[in-house]
Structure 1
Amino acid sequence: MTFKYSLTLPISGSHKLKRFTEWAEAVLPGLEYRLPPQTPIKTETMTIRLRQLDDRARILTALNTAKI
């Protein structure tokens, strides 16, 4: 399977990948995604690759109630 869909999230600060991974494991278990290999501290966004279009809606719904 491939990761055909993407979602760009506003996220700033350091350790973006670690923060997102920990959040996704706690809030959305079983979510299949790919993160970029690294993100510079100065960037304000991060693009996540997703397997299913429904996963995009799951993330956006969960983000309405939580911060990463």
Structure 2
Amino acid sequence: MTFKYSLTLPISGGNKLSRFEAWAEAHLPGLPYRLPPQTPIKTETMTIRLASLDDRRRILQQLARAQI
């Protein structure tokens, strides 16, 4: 699968990858995405790769309802 779209999310603190994975599984099950291999604790954002613009729209809509 090709992940040619991206979305940069505001997220701070530790365990960004596992927190996003848990949030995505709870709020958007089955959503195809690719996370970076790691993110430094000091960063305030995280960029994820998505397969379609519709996936990006779904994440943004869900973030408005339930924050990570």
- Give TM-score scaled by structure 1 length: 0.97
User: CA offsets, 1:17-40, max 9 Å, x none?
Assistant: 000000000100110000000000
Can you give the 5+ residue segments of structure 1 that lack an aligned partner in the other structure?
none
How many residues matched?
Answer: 68
Which residue of the partner structure matches residue 55 of structure 2? 55
Can you give the 5+ residue segments of structure 2 that lack an aligned partner in the other structure?
none
Q: Alignment RMSD, CA only? A: 0.5
1:35 aligns with 2:25: no
Identity %: 78
Q: Which ranges of 4 or more aligned residues in structure 1 deviate by more than 6 Å?
A: none
- Give TM-score scaled by structure 2 length: 0.97
